[in-house]
Amino acid sequence: MLSPILAPIWGANSLFEYIFSSPLEKRKNEWMDYVGGFLQQNFGDNLENLASNEKFITIFIQATRVAAQNHQEEKLESLRNAVVSSVYTQDISEDLQLTFIRFVDELTPSHILLLKFFVKFEHEIAKLKSYPELFSFFHGHYEYSNALYQDEFKMFVSDLNNRGLVRISQDIGDFDDIYEASSILLEETNDSLPRILITNVAKDFIRFISEIDSPKPTPNEKTIV
């Protein structure tokens, strides 16, 4: 451990390098080994051709930056899958792909688990009319959900809503620990419409960060160049 007496002599930059350079370099090397093996597995002899794919290089650099800042296995796996998806995926714009890399950085594994749950049970969730119903439904499908209390759950849902991944109606029923206007006072609404909507952006995001199912398509020259 560095002596407090020596710290002023080293200076801020030297101290930062002493403490953090080794862990950062270690994370970077581990990421390179991790994603490198996966790319070799997916692209084999075509791996060298990726060097001329400008979009892939940009995605890879951004993913590497995010990976160096994270230790959670779920995030590293999502980033690895995103790097591969950037080569195969033609129906998601480059801007959106870069946005998805940012989402992996900003969102927690709990956010992503919750979003995967929304996408998987989209039709069932569309019938729910309140946060208590949604919270109970989530509890019924994931043991992990027991670790979430209702305020944390609602905060995660709000974060997904703010990013346009889900759309939540203002008329959705809240938890019963806060005042809510009587339905008699509310304007008549169309009960056939969902109060919780999973957006196409959310579905693209989950697809982009998920491992591509086998058999994988063989990238042709147009795809990887």
Range of the domain at 67: 7-224
Above 80 in pLDDT, residue 144?
Answer: no
Residue 220 lies in a domain: yes
Q: Which residue has the higher pLDDT, 118 or 192?
A: 118
What is the average per-residue pLDDT within 17-41?
A: 80
Helix, strand or coil, per DSSP, at residue 3: coil
- Name 197's bridge partners: 167
What is the average per-residue pLDDT within 139-147?
A: 71
What is the average per-residue pLDDT within 180-195?
A: 60
Amino acid in position 69:
Q
What is the average per-residue pLDDT within 93-101?
A: 97
- Structural domain tally of the chain? 1
Q: Which residue has the higher pLDDT, 179 or 147?
A: 147
Rounded Cα distance, 100 and 113, in Å: 15
Rounded Cα distance, 3 and 92, in Å: 52
- The 8 Å CB, 24+ separation contacts for 30-36 are 31/64, 31/67, 31/68, 31/76, 32/64, 34/76, 34/80, 35/60, 35/63, 35/64, 35/67, 35/79, 35/80, 35/83
Above 50 in pLDDT, residue 217?
Answer: no
Above 80 in pLDDT, residue 16?
Answer: no
Q: Which residue has the higher pLDDT, 180 or 7?
A: 180
Residue 2 lies in a domain: no
What is the average per-residue pLDDT within 219-225?
A: 42
Residue 22 lies in a domain: yes
List the Cα angle 149/154/160 in 5-degree steps.
Answer: 130
Mean pLDDT of the chain: 82
Q: Are 126 and 197 in contact (CB under 8 A)?
A: yes
Report the range of poorest mean pLDDT among 53-67, 87-101, 186-200.
Answer: 186-200
pLDDT of amino acid 67: 94
Above 50 in pLDDT, residue 163?
Answer: yes
Q: Which residue has the higher pLDDT, 57 or 191?
A: 57
The residues near 199 (Cβ < 8 Å, ≥ 6 apart) are 164, 165, 166, 167
Residue 35 lies in a domain: yes
Residue 85 lies in a domain: yes
Q: Are 211 and 35 in contact (CB under 8 A)?
A: no
Q: What is the dihedral of CA 181, 184, 188, 193, to 10 degrees?
A: 60
What is the average per-residue pLDDT within 15-22?
A: 60
Residue 1 lies in a domain: no
pTM score, two decimals?
0.80
Q: Kindly report, residue by residue over 51-72, the tens digit of the pLDDT.
A: 888 999 999 999 999 999 999 9
Confidence of residue 215 (pLDDT cuts 50, 70, 90): very low
Q: Kindly report, residue by residue over 133-142, the tens digit of the pLDDT.
A: 999 999 888 7
Confidence of residue 6 (pLDDT cuts 50, 70, 90): very low
